[in-house]
Amino acid sequence: MLQYILYAIALILVILSYQDIKSRAVNDILAYILLSLAIIYFILNQISSFSLYSIIVVALIVLLSIFSYLQGYWALGDLIGISSVIMIDQSPLFLILLFNLIALFLVFYVSIYNFVNKIKQQNIFRLLILDLLLGIILFITIKVNFLIIPEISLTIATLISIILLWDQIEAYQQNAYYYADPKELLIGDWLVEPIEKDNIKIPVRKQGLTKEDIEKIKNLGIKVKIKRGVPLLPGFMLSTLVLVLLSI
């Protein structure tokens, strides 16, 4: 039964990741189904093999994720995604793998975005090749376990991921602002500057625009400056797919 739940979680993550990349928004019903399945999976695992360590890890990461959401570092879909994935596996090996796959996807996504938009595009192909090689090394390390201590190789890979990621993310963030038409706005979009016009005030919220904010902007009929986020769900999806592949 646990295996089928894992397959269902992976499938939903694939769908949500596609939505995240394509439209910056995910289906709320699917997101909550994902979270529900992950909670069921975690509870069944705890019933069969109780682990205080797993409970502590899940609690800490979920609390950290909620804090990040409240501070506006990521969206509600990202909060649900990381909370769901962490309930599947809490081993140190998986946690390191999860971080690396998120970082690898972000390097790939941001590098392609920067290249298409002609932002800091030097060495783009070298960066993507390194990204691909690092991903292959990660998978082989986990699947074949050819190194004596895979945690060490993954830790080194983590440092490489951070180095690859940092420079590209910095360039992306500097060019992540754009003016959006009211009809393009979505709940949770991050407003860059507060709006004050015709006695209407819309503050900058850490959790992004609300439905009421968007209605006010539509009534004003003006374009607003929005900060473009980076999709994180694909990184969560990749880590889950690796778990599925390893379980086959």
pLDDT digit string, tens, across residues 141-180: 555 554 555 556 666 666 666 666 666 566 666 666 777 7
**3-class state of residue 196 by DSSP:** strand
Residue 103 and residue 197 in one domain:
no
Amino acid at position 11, single letter = L
Range name among 109-123, 137-151, 187-201 with the lowest pLDDT average: 137-151
Which are the contacts of 91, defined by CB distance < 8 A and separation ≥ 6? Answer: none
105-132 mean pLDDT? 64
The residues facing 180 across adjacent strands are: 224
Q: What is the pLDDT of residue 159?
A: 67
Token readout for 87 is: 């309930």
Q: Whole domain around residue 84: which residue ranges? A: 2-175+229-247
- Taking the whole predicted model, whether its pTM rises above 0.75 is answered as no
Q: Which of 8-22, 100-114, 132-146, 148-162 is the most confident on average?
A: 8-22
For the segment 204-223, what is each residue's pLDDT rounded down to a tens digit? 776 677 778 888 888 877 88
**63 falls in which pLDDT band (50, 70, 90)?**
very high
On the question of pLDDT at 120 being above 60, the answer is: no
Residue 209 and residue 121 in one domain:
no
Residue 151 and residue 183 in one domain:
no
Residue 8 and residue 100 in one domain:
yes
Q: What is the pLDDT of residue 73?
A: 73
